[in-house]
Structure 1
Amino acid sequence: MEEDSAMTVYNGSAITDAKKNPFSIKVGLAQMLRGGAILEVTNLQQAKIAEDAGACSIMVAEPTRQGIRRMPDPSLIKDIKRPVSIPIIAPARVGHFVEAQILEAIGVDCVDESEILATEDEDNFINKHNFRCPFICRCQNLGEALRRVREGAAMIRTQGEVLGHGNIAEKVRNLRNVMKEVRVLNNMDEDEVFAFAKKKAAPCDLVAQTKQMGRLPVAQFAAGGIVTPADAALMMQLGCDGIFAGNEVFYSAEPNKRVRAIVQAVRHYNDPHVLVESSCGLEDSIQEINPSEDRIQHFGRD
């Protein structure tokens, strides 16, 4: 393995030396969020609801505005960061390393290189190894995921729809595609790995590591369209380490109840009895999950 490859911590053994390669530390920090729900928030009130509900982290975003969408106002992040004790994530535009520098200077715990914001650089992603904080990036297939990991992404989110309409079909398709490619890789002969890596345009050492581990070498979360406890549990049962829930869940009739139910569903995704209790009484507010376009705050992702 190359020294800058990802780190295997799932089996308790590191492939890279944390003292020599800070990336291994960032991978470990991101994996501390495994088994949790990350909620997108646009104000302090929503942040407190997410924290009280047991969210593992929050992602700060601004309400949708006309024109170019950029990183959140630093003052908004500071206002939320002071009274909230859980980790703070903030999005930066793809390729915009100066926005990432600003977010790191503010003290966010993680940066999401977001394709939902305006794209600053159409050809180049941020060199995430130049930063101390972990980065999150999007993927829709295994090759894309491993390319982002090579650039320094410490967490991958398998992305679905971003319109806030609660449609998980695209995310399920992308997630199953990634899992299928991992299974195909696991069943390959060692001599076939090189051709597979070339076909997927993925780093060969990371492809070999994925085969060895039987999964992505970093934490994998699901994002896009998750608005019910059943949606969240489905993503976990399909093999994700956690989920992102969009800001649209706060526009339901009872946001406290819905957010808490989603968090509980992630924690107890294999317990149908808990899922029954979490899902009860939410149907009356499901219509509120589809706000008008001027109220929808999209996820920030790479």
Structure 2
Amino acid sequence: MAEDGTVTLYNNTVVTDAKKIPFSVKSGLAQMLRGGAIVEASTLNQAILAEEAGARCLVISEPNRGGIPRMPDPSIIKEIKRAVSIPVMARSRVGHFVEAQILERVGVEYIDESEVLAIADEDNFINKHNFRCPFICGCRNLGEALRRVREGAAMIRTQGDLLGTGNIAETVKNVRSVMGEIRILNNMDEDEVFAFAKKIAAPYDLVAQTKQMGRLPVVHFAAGGIVTPADAALMMQLGCDGIFVGSEVFENCSDPYKRLRGIVEAVRHYNDPHVLVENSCGLEEEMAGLNVSEERMEPFGEEGA
């Protein structure tokens, strides 16, 4: 996985420079987020509230203004970075390596090549080995996850609901798919791994490494529809290393801090029923604005996670 940092740049005038940073360093930086909640924020107030509630990292996004979703305005990123002390992540469109170059130059600690935004390149993902920043990429199954790792992703985000409906069903389905395929792989004879790697269209060496480790070779988070402490604990008990919390937790809510704090505590204490009960009490009013609408529910798209 390009441990020596030797990569082919896009062209001779490329803005970024990998500086021969080994993949192990990038994956180590992603490991620092393990066991925490990464919270999406689109305003300075949301970012400050998320930090106070215990978020491990922030994902900066543009406010929903309609049109084609793109990377956030660099000025918003700079403003939030000056105000908070936790790491900041920003999204680039799938395949849009120039957006990634801009985000790296702005100084974000992590870049999310996100299918939540519009897709810039339908056939090619960013060559993430060309960048100093660790990258996060989405998946719905083990094959997608390992293909993204081969491209240089230091964290995998199993993605569910993309529409902010608060529906966790798609996330549960995809997390169970990844975990189920890993369990199948763990029970395989060594001779069967070659055929399995071909079947899921993943690099054999990464499939073998996954079998040896009994898990993905990088940090594994879940995202989409996680809006209650119970949702967060469910993802953790299914085997994820952490969660992404969408900006919907701030919407239609009289006390977003209480809701977000409950989710953060549920991630930290996902096996403690007493903590889960305490943080789930009194959230009925807080969840009133998150009702699933049939009109907003659409199937997850094809390859592009």
| 1:185 aligned partner | 185
Partner of 1:202: 202
Give the TM-score taking structure 2 as reference length: 0.89
- Kindly indicate whether residue 276 of structure 2 is the aligned counterpart of residue 275 of structure 1: yes
Match of 2:11 in 1: none
Residues 158-167 or 98-107, more deviating: 158-167
Letter matched to residue 267 of structure 1: R
Letter of the structure 1 residue corresponding to residue 103 of structure 2: L
* 1:223 pairs with 2:229: no
What letter matches 1:168 in structure 2?
I
Conserved? CA contact 2:4–2:20, under 8 Å: no
Counterpart check, 1:64 vs 2:72: no
More contact order relative to length (CA 8 Å, sep ≥ 6): 1
Partners of 1:291 and 1:99 in 2: CA distance: 32
- Aligned equivalent of 1:138: 138
Equivalent residue for 1:159? 159
- Shift of the 107–291 alpha-carbon distance from structure 1 to 2, 3 Å rule, reads farther
- Percent identical residues: 74
Structure 1: distance between partners of 2:64 and 2:224: 16
2:47 aligned with 1:33: no
Query: Are residues 1:149 and 2:135 paired?
Result: no
Task: Please give the secondary structure, in 1, of the residue aligned with 2:167.
Answer: coil
The answer (yes or no) to whether the contact 2:165–2:225 under 8 Å persists in 1 is yes
Structure 1 position 20, deviation (Å): 6.8
Per the normalisation by structure 1, the TM-score is: 0.90
Deviations 1:125-169 (Å, cap 9, x if unpaired)? 000000000000000000000000000000000000111111101
Shift of 1:288: 2.0
What SS class does the counterpart of residue 205 from structure 1 fall into?
Answer: helix
What's 1:14 paired with? Answer: none
Q: Indicate the SS of the match to 1:265.
A: helix
Q: Distance in 2 between matches of 1:213 and 1:244?
A: 24
Asked if structure 2 preserves the Cα contact closer than 8 Å seen for 1:248 and 1:291, the reply is no
Separation (CA, whole Å) in 1 of partners of 2:84 and 2:140: 32
Name segments (4+ residues, structure 1) moved above 3 Å.
1-5
User: What amino acid does structure 2 have at the position aligned with 1:106?
Assistant: V
Aligned residues: 281
Structure 2 residue identity aligned to 1:262: I
Task: Note the C-alpha offset of 1:67.
Answer: 1.6
What are the equivalent positions in structure 2 for 1:101-140 lying under 5 Å apart? Answer: 101-140=101-140
**Unpaired runs of 5+ in structure 1?**
6-18, 293-300
Q: Which residue of 1 aligns with 2:288?
A: 287
Where 1:59 maps in the other structure, the secondary structure is: strand
Q: Counterparts of 2:3 and 2:156 in 1: how far apart (Å)? A: 20
Query: What is the RMSD of the two structures over their aligned residues, measured on CA atoms?
Result: 1.8
Deviations 1:248-269 (A, max 9, x none): 0011221010010000000000
Contact 1:92 1:111 in 2 (8 A): yes
Partner residue, 1:45? 45
Instruction: State the alpha-carbon separation in 2 of the partners of residues 186 and 235 from structure 1.
Output: 21
Residue number in structure 2 paired with 1:173: 173
1:240 aligned counterpart, secondary structure: coil
Aligned amino acid, residue 55 of structure 2: A
**Deviation per residue, 1:8-58 (Å, 9 max, x gap):** xxxxxxxxxxx9761110000001100000000010100011100111001
Could you tell me how far 1:69 is from its partner in structure 2? 1.2
State the 1:289 CA deviation. 2.8
Contact 1:171–1:222 (CA under 8 A) maintained in structure 2: yes
CA distance in 1 between counterparts of 2:93 and 2:45 reads: 25
> 1:90 and 1:210 mapped to 2: Cα distance?
28
**C-alpha distance in 1, partners of 2:4/2:286?**
48
Q: Which position in structure 1 is the counterpart of 2:82?
A: 82
Separation in 2, partners of 1:191, 1:266: 38
Q: Match of 2:83, SS?
A: coil
What SS does the corresponding residue of 2:288 show, helix, strand or coil? helix
Spell out, residue by residue over 1:91-144, the C-alpha distance to the aligned partner (whole angstroms, 9 max, x if none). 000000000000000000000001121111110000000000000000000000
The answer to whether the Cα contact below 8 Å between 1:249 and 1:255 also exists between their aligned partners in 2 is yes
